[in-house]
Amino acid sequence: MAKPDVIRLYRFALSGHSHRAELMLSLLGLHAELVDVDLAHGEHKQPPFLEKNRFGQVPVLEDGALTLSDSNAILVYLAERYDETQRYWPREPARRAQIQRWLSVAAGQLAAGPAAARLVRVFNVPLDHGQAVRKAHDLFLVLEKELRERPFLAGESATLADVALYTYTAHAPEGDVSLEDYPAIRGWLTRIEALPGFIPMPRTPAKS
């Protein structure tokens, strides 16, 4: 594996999108300088940050001369660039297609369901919480069936699919989306947390 240039990850510590990029770095054994972006005071909407990502969103990865935004794009880049084992992003077209299916779910149903429900409860974002909870359970019913058939989303070992869906699923209870009825999902979360290099995202304090 080529020695990486200085890698920086611009992140917000309680962002699941940021965490999936940070988790991928850790699983690959890559050291990165973590740069916290002050979302509460709008740092992500100021010109210096907008030069890195015109959408004004975290995370952003800098790897030498490369600046890359979008968490799923960052996952693919890191695996392509640094995963010599090809474990997380296998070369076989069929496996990649299976993984891409779940990357699309991460950007779609996961974002609209458990991630949105958490935004309402943790950050008071004015979204329809009831609708987000319903979407979350619709997604989890599918995940539960899939994970009864195999240990990870795209096969027998962890891939980018699992990294992309882990954080917002694990933190779904922060959005009042219970995982109690999903034993296969809970087992999957435990398997991901046992991977060498796993790092958790901080949990937000429970509201009284």
Over the chain, what is the mean pLDDT? 95
**pLDDT tens-digit map of 175-187:** 999 999 999 999 9
The answer on pLDDT for 206 being more than 60 is no
What pTM value is reported for the model? 0.94
Question: If pLDDT is split at 50, 70 and 90, which confidence band does 208 have?
Answer: very low
Q: How far apart are CA 91 and CA 127, in angstroms?
A: 39
* Residue 159 main-chain phi, psi, to 5 deg: -135, -175
* Crossing angle between the packed helical segments 129-149 and 160-170, to the nearest 10 degrees: 130
The tokens for 31 are 């050291």
The whole-number pLDDT of residue 204 equals 78
The whole-number pLDDT of residue 203 equals 83
Mean pLDDT of 98-107: 98
- Please, what sign has the CA dihedral across residues 36, 40, 44, 48? negative
Question: If pLDDT is split at 50, 70 and 90, which confidence band does 139 have?
Answer: very high
Do residues 58 and 10 touch, judged by C-beta distance below 8 A? yes
The answer on pLDDT for 115 being more than 80 is yes
The whole-number pLDDT of residue 41 equals 92
Do residues 13 and 203 touch, judged by C-beta distance below 8 A? no
Mean pLDDT of 155-166: 97
CA-based nearest residue to 84, from 40, 29, 135, 133 = 29
The answer on pLDDT for 4 being more than 70 is no
* Residue 152 main-chain phi, psi, to 5 deg: -130, 170
The whole-number pLDDT of residue 2 equals 54
The whole-number pLDDT of residue 1 equals 52
Helix residue ranges per DSSP H, 29-182: 47-50, 71-82, 93-107, 109-110, 116-123, 129-149, 160-170
Mean pLDDT lowest among 33-37, 38-42, 152-156, 183-187: 38-42
Domains and CATH numbers, the chain: 7-82 (3.40.30.10), 93-193 (1.20.1050.10)
